[in-house]
Structure 1
Amino acid sequence: EELEKLNLEVASEFILVAATLMRIKAKLLLPREKLDELGNEVDPREELVRHLLEYKKYKSVIAELATLEEQRALKEKRGNILREIKKLSESTDVESELQDVDLYKLLKVYQRVLVKFEEEKKKPIHTIVPYPYTIADKKKEILSKLVDKERISFEEMITDGVKEKILVIFNFLAILELLQMQLIGITLGEGYNNFWIQKLDSKEEKEFP
């Protein structure tokens, strides 16, 4: 988690200075044998100061060059504007690309994509299937059956010749609508286990929609 928050450039500078300090400390603990051209003993701390001054000098020069480059790009009225030049340089700078890559974040995104993919696979798929019949058709069919028979059992009415469960539902809804329209009536059968459906005489002449 801490690596994710680190700036790699700052971290590299810190490691360089820390390593130099550790080397200086080690040299101070050991007998000093390194001499300069005049035969004088070399203080390793002077070497650290020299490295830091050189680093500061190069970093300052690089910053000045970057500023000059930006100013120059703004003055040139060419198609390659500053943003395009920067993008082109970034695309060809392999070292810069490698520094910008965060493997940890990349793996987190990859894991999130996999989880989302699995969740999408588990979602139920709802398919709308058009049925070749309607409640209006079933109402006409029920009334037609009651013309040939005086009465028909409720069970026979909704299940006769039915091969699909959905058709039983359609027949039941059609019976309810006919009852509401007072075109049919229901009487209790023997044993209280069934009902009889019959056409109402007073409604026979009623116009059917």
Structure 2
Amino acid sequence: MSFEIKLSLFEGPFDLLLFFIERDELDIHDIPIFQITNEFMDYIRQLEQLNIEVASDFILTAATLMRIKAKMLLPRTEKDEQGNEIDPRQELVQHLLEYKKYKTATPILSEMEDMRLAQENRGNIHEELQQIANANHFEYELQDLSLYKLMRVFDKVMTRFEEEQNRPKHTIIQYPYTIEDQRDYILKEIQAKSKMSFSEIISAFPDKIGMIFNFLAILDMLQLNLIGVEVGDGFNDFTITIADGDATQVTQLFVE
């Protein structure tokens, strides 16, 4: 059985994404991934503040958007068979177009359903079968029933029960990190120390997830031109500094 969530406006993550795209009149073939990701995450935070449980498909879509956002920040190295660079948004756009196609057809199917429900079913079926059963002296509900069929049904039920018991169970762990929090931490440290090495950040957050979030926060700040990077002496180490001419922008960010 699949878990479904129905909110006041949006029944699924693609419904929410299409709302953002149509509201802001965006080109679905050239989605501004940074804007869409931020709006999607803001909506999920609002649900959490209202103590509304967020369905797993919303969480999966949020993770997909963050992965695409990270890929957009990095140089594109993936290419197709013709040698063209692969857009990280391509798969998401295809899913959105398919979802939009089925969503457009939903009102038509709903109208057809209403028309079918308004029609009368063929009458007297139960009475006709009962008359045939009485004329032949047997109960028509049990005419096709046998011990073999009962055993087959019982076997299917037990098989289905065992499959449900052995089905893998997934546990979702919420890590105590966000890109916004790590970005604020790094900016405060740089403002206090003027510069900071990446190895210092690793020492402060030594776990793998912490390193990933901090690295994504650094990429995000580089994209926004809030910091600069200098190559360090150690292996795979570098120094983070405030970008030239952006000290005022960083100060205003803390005030807000």
Q: TM-score range by the shorter chain?
A: 0.3 to 0.5
Higher helix share: 1
Larger Rg: 1
- What TM-score, normalized to structure 2? 0.38
